[in-house]
Amino acid sequence: MALSCAVIGYGPAFNMGKAHCGWIAETDELELFAVCDIDKKRTKQAKRDFPGIETFNSADELVEEDFDLATVVTPHNTHAPLAVMVLEAGKNCVVEKPMCITVAEADQMISAAKESGVVLSVFHNRRWDGDFLTLKDILKKGLLGEVFQVEAFAGGYGHPGKWWRSEKKVSGGAMYDWGAHFLDWVLNLYPADTIDGVAGFCHDLVWKDVSNEDDVRAIMHFRSGLVADFQLSSIARVGKPKWRILGTKGALVTAGKSFHVTTEIKGLKADLEVPFGESDWPGFYDNIVGHLLRGEELAVKPEEARRVIEVMEAAEKSWKSGKMEKLIHE
């Protein structure tokens, strides 16, 4: 039995709508039924790219059809209303990351899924990135000992991208770009560790023609003592490694396409170069199939994606209040 799938949104940001259609079409036990986009030119292109599918230019019309799963690939500020529409129609739903913009929206989405008895997940596909999978394996092997500091960085110096990468009302702000990935990574590494508080910092100094911030930072203090520090910048002429992690036994830093690990093995200092493994983005949809058809554990639970939104919201609240902010449900 194949699950019938629809993709809402086929244009133009990185061709992600087309990418989702491809992943769905290539996944065993999934079948691409339809594409929906408000732009008729895009749905015509979708029909050329995936002959035999149905196309719609209204999500209201699409959700009246008989299918199993919809993936929402639209601007951030539309994720919540479209997902709620899909969920209330009794369809399972995958939403591109970030899940939404506010915690209130996340709660509404989770409630809609529970009330309809359907599945909601968020496309945090970068949990299947080769470097992140390798990082998790290094930590699992205990090469760093007890980790007490995680530093992560993304960016450089240059004008922010167009559209959602520039407009705060659409994107939620600069933190909602790579922050959606990095914060999910950090929280996925330490899912059971309570966050005692989030300190947020923001600069808006150079790119005055856009409403997204120039430089944002979130520092998370966990109850275990772990401190995680993420910075995203478009005004950093000198950057930092993607990852720098310190533990009681060793340390790790990103070095090209590998990790440089300094550790201790049987009392001797050891320097290791650990190459990144292979990425497996389609693994996300394999998990969706396994969950819906065989009851396997859902890899990306909506509550986990909600926690990412809560950290980003707390970071913005902190840079406005000038003090560390607590999360609502921690």
Full residue range of the structural domain in which residue 92 is found: 3-123
Residue 100 and residue 199 share a domain: no
Is 77 within the bounds of a domain? yes
Neighbours of 165 (CB within 10 A): 17
Residue 154's CATH number: 3.30.360.10
User: Which value, in Å, is the radius of gyration of the alpha carbons in the chain?
Assistant: 21
Check residue 253 and give its pLDDT: 98
Check residue 165 and give its pLDDT: 79
Residue 254 and residue 132 share a domain: yes
Q: Rounded to whole angstroms, how far apart are CA atoms 129 and 288?
A: 17
Q: Rounded to whole angstroms, how far apart are CA atoms 263 and 144?
A: 6
Residue 113 and residue 161 share a domain: no
Task: Decide: helix, strand or coil at residue 166.
Answer: coil
pTM given for the model: 0.95
- For the chain, residues with pLDDT lower than 50 are none
Is 302 within the bounds of a domain? no
Q: Tokens 């770009």 — which residue?
A: 177
Residue 41's CATH number: 3.40.50.720
Check residue 13 and give its pLDDT: 64
Q: Which residues contact 225 (CB under 8 A, 6 or more apart)?
A: 148
Show which of 74, 98, 123 is a domain's final residue: 123
Is 301 within the bounds of a domain? no
Residue 68 and residue 151 share a domain: no
Q: What percent of the chain has pLDDT over 70?
A: 99
Structural domain count, the chain: 2
The closest alpha carbon to 52, from 4, 88, 90, belongs to 4
Q: What is the pLDDT of residues 295-311, one digit of tens each?
A: 999 999 999 999 999 99
Check residue 295 and give its pLDDT: 97
Check residue 329 and give its pLDDT: 72
Is 293 within the bounds of a domain? no
Task: Decide: helix, strand or coil at residue 61.
Answer: helix
